[in-house]
Amino acid sequence: DAGVIQSPRHEVTEMGQEVTLRCKPISGHDYLFWYRQTMMRGLELLIYFNNNVPIDDSGMPEDRFSAKMPNASFSTLKIQPSEPRDSAVYFCASSSSVNYGYTFGSGTRLTVV
Amino acid sequence: GIQVEQSPPDLILQEGANSTLRCNFSDSVNNLQWFHQNPWGQLINLFYIPSGTKQNGRLSATTVATERYSLLYISSSQTTDSGVYFCAVSAGGFKTIFGAGTRLFVKA
């Protein structure tokens, strides 16, 4: 398995633009997580899905953030409109209910200018 | 919510030395993991260890759930062990909370 795949690896965008981050989990994993990492706040859980259904989105900072998982092999995290304070590394991870250990993707480094 | 405290926050070792990293948590957990974030930012799962002891090469981990702590042991440290070590816990379900990490630097 190629692991958890995220795209793009880097994204630089202007304030006000829409940003879409993508994630392909490991095949067979039924849990998918979106995390954000910043120096000030560390690793924060934004949202997680089980069998494509959002279970807990209490970490999503505000309405500008949305996440979807239309099928078991794809998820998106969208920010619209983006702001400079959204600059961070966004990680996707997947796990299974059989073996709980997380596998993280390589992350997307987002810079909003 | 559950609180996770890691110590020490920073650690500098000479190559070949041993070390122990600690993770304290404020409530009962059903899921505890240790991760290593290398200098390139990649997060690698080291252990899933809600209780008991596990070993993988030079690394081992012990979780005493009743006393709400976990320890990560690194023996014969190497420069490639440098990075940040995170403890992550969940008190129910899969909502996993990360500690602030221990930043390790191993000198050659």
Q: What are A37-58's pLDDT values in tens digits?
A: 999 999 999 999 999 999 999 9
Q: Are A105 and A93 in contact (CB under 8 A)?
A: yes
Q: How far apart are CA B53 and CA A44, in angstroms?
A: 27
Record: contact B33-A102, CB cut-off 8 A: yes
DSSP B81: G
Here the tokens at position A108 are 């997307």
Chain B residues in contact with A89 (beta carbon < 8 A): 41
Q: How far apart are CA B35 and CA B45, in angstroms?
A: 5
Please check the confidence at residue A73 and state whether its pLDDT lies above 90: yes
Give the whole-number percent of chain B exceeding pLDDT 90: 90
Here the tokens at position B53 are 């002891």
Q: How far apart are CA A79 and CA B55, in angstroms?
A: 41
Here the tokens at position B69 are 């702590």
Which among B41, B96, B101 has the least Cβ separation from residue A89?
Answer: B41
- In degrees and rounded to multiples of 5, residue B43 shows phi and psi of -95, 120
Record: contact A100-B88, CB cut-off 8 A: no
B100 touches chain A (CB under 8 A): yes
Which among A45, A48, A101 has the least Cβ separation from residue B33?
Answer: A101
Record: contact B94-A43, CB cut-off 8 A: no
More confident residue, A2 or B13: B13
pLDDT for position B93: 73
Q: Where are the beta strands (DSSP E) in A39-86?
A: 42-50, 53-56, 65-71, 74-79
